[in-house]
């Protein structure tokens, strides 16, 4: 059995990790930490886990975490980078769900996250864990930076177009919407039901922290720097991300082969579903599942490709993808613990 530790277990991604790992046949969760809730039984905070875990939240002790085979960090930015070096020395493998190791240019990282990066050597070594792109590198990695939720939906939607050089890389647009759980589980007046219910708004339109991560991944896919406009929105639901993506074909005649291109690109990807042309994937169709579902569109004879991409921000956008990365790192079936279909209604 793979011995697992979770640092930062009281947030939504922490409990989602536990929900998935509760049915994983190859792992044993040895510890889950929370400085603020140390001593509280996990099932007292999350009653859905009653009967699945007898754990109590504990202080994040490096000596205890060093006895694990893999540690997940479900923490705010700035925490993992301070704790990772000691775990690396102990031979522990890490999947970090925070943003600490996602961006390679640390000057850019510091500008967006408002602090200097304290472990540049590990930022350089970390593998950005989008399995559909770098599966082989993930297998060998000791430290995996789990992609963000918006970046996962956006990158998977754009990848086939950029990899084949079929669109103008300087004019990419990502219009994305997320449920309220994307903001985390902290007290925030702006996230109260009375504030977000019956409403819909854009935020971060002048610049969002996920923009440099999106730009980095899309530039790697294109083999050159891309120009991308990314605007996130908050919708009054709990889970889910929908990204409507726009790109301009350099040769409109290529449009007729795009459906086949997408189907072939993702044919062997267990967690990407390319729907028939003109479909409208719904966030509820992936709720609770480690799935990215997408479809292609075209309006009349326009040379603009429209891709709609949906994920559950807490699963394929966070905890599910983290478990997918763990499975790859330990040579397990990639689907283990992740086979459950989405929840409907």
Residue-by-residue DSSP string for 217-254: HHHHHHTS---EEEEEEE-SSSS-EEEEEEEEBSSGGG
How far lies 34's CA from each of 9, 40, 41, 79, 217, in Å? 6, 9, 11, 12, 32
| In the block, residue with structure tokens 């669109």 | 167
Rounded Cα distance between 262 and 156, Å, is: 10
Question: DSSP per residue over 265-299, as a string?
Answer: HTTT-TTEEEPPTT----GGGGTTSS-EEEEEE--
pLDDT of residue 185: 67
149 as an active site residue: the answer is: yes
- CATH 3.40.50.720: which residues of the chain? 2-125
Distance between CA atoms of 148 and 187, rounded to whole angstroms? 21
Fold observed for domain 2-125: Rossmann fold (3.40.50)
In the chain, which residues fall in CATH 3.30.360.10?
Answer: 150-313
Environment class of 106 (CB within 10 Å of its CB; exposed 0-12, middle 13-18, buried 19+): middle
Q: CA 298 to CA 304: how far, in whole Å? A: 7
Tens-digit pLDDT string for the chain (345 aa): 999 999 998 889 999 999 999 999 999 999 999 988 999 999 999 999 999 999 999 999 999 999 999 999 999 999 999 999 999 999 999 999 999 999 999 999 999 999 999 999 999 999 999 999 999 999 999 999 999 999 999 999 999 999 999 999 999 999 999 998 887 766 676 667 777 778 889 999 999 999 999 999 999 999 999 999 999 999 999 999 999 999 999 999 999 999 999 999 999 999 999 999 999 999 999 999 999 999 999 999 999 999 999 999 999 999 999 999 999 999 999 999 999 999 998
- Please, are residues 208 and 230 in contact by the beta-carbon 8 Å criterion? yes
SS3 at position 194: helix
Looking at domain 150-313, what is its CATH homologous superfamily?
Dihydrodipicolinate Reductase; domain 2 (3.30.360.10)
Between CA 37 and CA 7 the distance in angstroms is 12
Phi, psi of 95 (to 5 degrees): -115, 115
| 3-class SS of residue 63 | helix
pTM: 0.96
Catalytic residue among 31, 68, 149, 292, which? 149
Peptide bond preceding 345: is omega within 30 degrees of 0, i.e. cis?
Answer: yes
Q: How far apart are CA 155 and CA 13, in angstroms?
A: 21
Three-state SS letters, 73-106: ECCCCCCHHHHHHHHHHCCCEEEECCCCCCCCCH
CA distances from 117 to 7, 103, 212, 214, 250 (A): 19, 11, 16, 19, 39
Q: Are 225 and 145 in contact (CB under 8 A)?
A: no
Distances (CA, A) of 344 to 56, 133, 215: 31, 30, 34
């Amino acid at each position: 059995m793979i011995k697992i530790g979770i640092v930062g277990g009281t947030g939504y991604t922490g409990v989602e990790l536990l929900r998935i790992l509760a049915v994983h046949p190859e792992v044993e969760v040895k510890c889950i930490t929370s400085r603020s809730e140390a001593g509280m039984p996990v099932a007292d905070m999350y009653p859905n886990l009653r009967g699945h875990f007898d754990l109590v939240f504990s202080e994040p002790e490096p000596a205890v975490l060093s006895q694990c085979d893999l540690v997940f960090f479900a923490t705010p930015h700035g925490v993992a980078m301070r704790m990772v070096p000691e775990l690396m020395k102990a031979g522990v493998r890490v999947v970090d769900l925070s943003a600490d190791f996602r961006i390679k240019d640390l000057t850019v990282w510091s500008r967006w996250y408002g602090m200097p990066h304290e472990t540049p050597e590990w930022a350089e070594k970390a593998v950005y864990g989008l399995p559909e792109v770098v599966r082989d590198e993930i297998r060998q990695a000791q430290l995996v930076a789990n992609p963000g939720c918006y970046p996962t939906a956006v990158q998977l939607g754009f990848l086939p177009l950029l990899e084949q050089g079929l669109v103008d890389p300087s004019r990419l647009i990502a219009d994305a919407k997320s449920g309220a759980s994307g903001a985390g589980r902290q007290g925030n007046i702006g996230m109260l039901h009375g504030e977000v219910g019956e409403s819909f708004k854009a935020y971060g339109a002048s610049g969002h922290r996920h923009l440099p991560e999106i730009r980095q991944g899309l530039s790697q896919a294109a083999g050159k720097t891309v120009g991308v406009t990314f605007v996130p929105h908050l919708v009054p639901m709990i889970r889910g991300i929908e990204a409507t993506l726009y790109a301009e074909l350099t040769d409109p005649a290529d449009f007729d082969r795009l459906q086949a291109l997408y189907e072939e690109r993702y044919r062997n990807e267990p967690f990407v579903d390319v729907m028939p042309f003109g479909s409208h994937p719904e966030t509820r169709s992936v709720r609770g599942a480690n799935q990215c579902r997408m479809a292609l569109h075209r309006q009349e004879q326009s040379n603009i490709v429209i891709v709609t991409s949906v994920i559950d921000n807490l699963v394929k956008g966070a905890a599910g993808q983290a478990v997918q990365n763990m499975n790859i790192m330990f040579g397990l079936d990639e689907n283990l613990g992740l086979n459950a279909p989405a929840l409907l209604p």
